[in-house]
């Protein structure tokens, strides 16, 4: 027993010495400030004690302490956390030398190699296919859906605010309406018209939570313990019905697409499909048109649709929640926003506002942007160097530098 313990102790000491004497650490530690490097066991203790909230606060504290790029080192992995916009720009424009951070691959069970996860050539090709789906004219088409869902949200809040002694728990409410919106704009279906919409909603919210929770559990980073300890099974439970749902919608829309019921599609005319048809366009149509040109297969479509669903509902739901919170805390600002919108609607004879009229709401626009600055729905993005590269004056190492870009 004693021999085993001594052997273990020796192993820990050797690991410690190995990590601490690696040239990359010694060099970076000399050049960039950062929290003290914890000894192996303290590091394990620190990581095991992390929660969503404490992780967020650690990042805030480090940013406040170091006020500039700082390093974080644990178990031989070096992170360079970049917190100022000008350095973030350097990283993000070094696209050729950067891969997505290691945590992104946790999401691939859900999103495959969709835009958020993919890199290099694949990312560039998918991005080219999808760019037309974000055209200004498309947003115009979606305005009706945005209005419908916004009216439903306001009505819901109006009907429930007085019944609730303790207020309304906003995140599930905003997420219900953003999920409806993204479902109709990306897949072209009304979620409430589908079978078991609440089950789909529950699964989508659950899968987001489970995937993010993995980031805080270093012992399941590797696939083997992840599977053996039952975590994969836990994720598969909501994931399988989500994928089946997306595939079913794609299948139905594809049939309508080839029957000519959706768009006047001619190969090579992908960029204009939303302008020529009478039927309602959905982002999925751009993907089906790309498939018809042989640029994408069925699974590729599924990956991109799931990426929209995931990226599009949770971000906008947290943005709305924080905007409401800030307005409630600043009644004077709320009053100005209300007045600006009220007078625009009045000048429009009480009708819902058009796109140019919405663009004219300059005070409201600034309030939204300031809320996003104060409470960014995506507070971190991360990249890893994929080669010997020279980025941001000090980093010249292969596959060792993962950079968490703390955008705010
Ligand atoms: C307030 C709302 C939103 C915020 C704050 C937000 C934030 C972000 C951020 C920070 C990224 C970069 C992630 C990275 O590169 O690591 C990103 C990527 C992405 N977002 Fe959003 N997003 C929002 C809404 C949406 C919506 C509504 C959609 C879909 C309709 C969407 C689709 C995407 C996609 C497809 C990507 C990957 C793009 C690429 O890598 O080329 N997002 N988003």
Q: Is 328 near ligand 1, meaning CB less than 6 Å away?
A: no
Please state the atom number of ligand 1 nearest to the C-alpha of residue 318.
Answer: 1
Please state the atom number of ligand 1 nearest to the C-alpha of residue 100.
Answer: 16
Question: What spacing in Å lies between the alpha carbon of 27 and ligand 1's midpoint?
Answer: 35
Q: Is 318 near ligand 1, meaning CB less than 6 Å away?
A: no
Q: Is 311 near ligand 1, meaning CB less than 6 Å away?
A: yes
Domain definitions of the chain by residue range: 1-103+378-405, 126-320, 330-376
Question: What spacing in Å lies between the alpha carbon of 311 and ligand 1's midpoint?
Answer: 6
Return the residue whose CA atom lies nearest to atom 25 of ligand 1. 312
Domain 126-320 has CATH 1.10.3720.10: no
pLDDT at 360: 96
Question: What spacing in Å lies between the alpha carbon of 352 and ligand 1's midpoint?
Answer: 27
pLDDT tens, 80-109?
Answer: 888 887 777 777 777 766 788 888 989 999
Weakly modelled stretches of the chain, pLDDT under 70:
24, 76, 96-97, 163-165, 260-279, 386-408
pLDDT at 402: 57
Q: Is 112 near ligand 1, meaning CB less than 6 Å away?
A: no
Reduce the secondary structure of the chain to three states and give it as a string.
CHHHHHHHHHHHHHHHHHHHHCHHHHHHHHHCCCCCCCCHHHHHHHHHCCCHHHHHHHHHHHHHHHCCCEEEEECCEEEEEECCHHHHHHHHHCHHHEEECHHHHHHHHHHCCCCCCCCHHHHHHHHHHHHHHHCHHHHHHHHHHHHHHHHHHHHHHHHHHCCCCCCCCHHHHHHHHHHHHHHHHHHCCCHHHCCCHHHHHHHHHHHHHHHHHHHCCHHHCCHHHHHHCCHHHHHHHHHHHHHHHHHHHHHHHHHHHHCCCCCCCCCCCHHHHHHHCCCCCCHHHHHHHHHHCCCCCHHHHHHHHHHHHHHHHHHHHHHHHHHHHHHHHCHHHHHHHHHHHHHHHHHCCCCCCCHHHHHCCHHHHHHHHHHHHHCCCCCEEEEEECCCCCECCCECCCCCEEEEEECC
Residue from 178, 311, 372 to probe ligand 1 pocket by mutation (most atoms less than 8 Å from CB): 311
Return the residue whose CA atom lies nearest to atom 36 of ligand 1. 116
Q: Is 113 near ligand 1, meaning CB less than 6 Å away?
A: no
pLDDT at 260: 67
pLDDT at 405: 58
């Amino acid at each position: 027993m004693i021999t085993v313990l001594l052997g273990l102790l020796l192993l820990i000491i050797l690991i410690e010495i190995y990590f601490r004497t690696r040239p990359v650490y010694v060099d970076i530690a000399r050049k960039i400030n950062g929290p003290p490097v914890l000894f192996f066991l303290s590091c394990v203790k620190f990581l095991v004690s992390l929660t969503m909230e404490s992780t967020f606060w650690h990042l805030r504290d480090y940013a406040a302490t170091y006020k500039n790029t700082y390093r974080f080192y644990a178990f031989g992995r070096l992170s360079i956390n970049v917190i100022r916009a000008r350095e973030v720009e350097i990283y993000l424009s070094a696209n050729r030398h950067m891969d997505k951070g290691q945590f992104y691959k946790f999401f691939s069970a859900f999103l495959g190699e969709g835009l958020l996860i993919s890199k290099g050539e694949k990312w560039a090709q998918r991005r080219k296919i999808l760019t037309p789906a974000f055209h200004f004219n498309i947003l115009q088409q979606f305005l009706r859906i945005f209005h419908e869902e916004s009216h439903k949200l306001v009505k819901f809040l109006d009907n429930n605010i007085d019944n609730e002694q303790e207020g309304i728990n906003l995140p599930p409410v905003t997420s219900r309406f953003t999920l409806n919106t993204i479902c109709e704009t990306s897949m072209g279906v009304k979620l409430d018209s589908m079978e078991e919409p609440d089950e789909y909603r529950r699964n989508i919210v659950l899968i987001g939570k489970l995937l993010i929770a993995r980031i805080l559990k270093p012992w399941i980073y590797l696939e083997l313990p992840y599977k053996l300890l039952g975590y994969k099974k836990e994720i598969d439970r909501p994931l399988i019905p989500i994928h089946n749902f997306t595939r079913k919608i794609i299948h139905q829309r594809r049939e309508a697409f080839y029957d000519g019921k959706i768009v006047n599609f001619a190969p090579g005319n992908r960029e204009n499909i939303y302008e020529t048809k009478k039927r309602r366009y959905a982002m999925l149509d751009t993907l089906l048109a790309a498939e018809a040109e042989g640029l994408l297969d069925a699974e590729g479509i599924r990956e991109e649709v799931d990426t929209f669903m995931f990226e599009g509902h949770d971000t906008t739901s947290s943005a709305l929640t924080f905007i409401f919170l800030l307005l409630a805390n600043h009644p004077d600002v709320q009053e100005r926003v209300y007045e600006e919108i009220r007078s625009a609607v009045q000048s429009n004879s009480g009708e819902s506002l058009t796109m140019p009229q919405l663009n004219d709401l300059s005070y409201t626009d600034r309030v939204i942007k300031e809320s996003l600055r104060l409470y960014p729905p995506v507070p971190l993005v991360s990249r890893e160097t994929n080669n010997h590269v020279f980025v941001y004056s000090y980093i010249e190492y292969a596959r060792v530098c993962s950079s968490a870009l703390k955008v705010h």
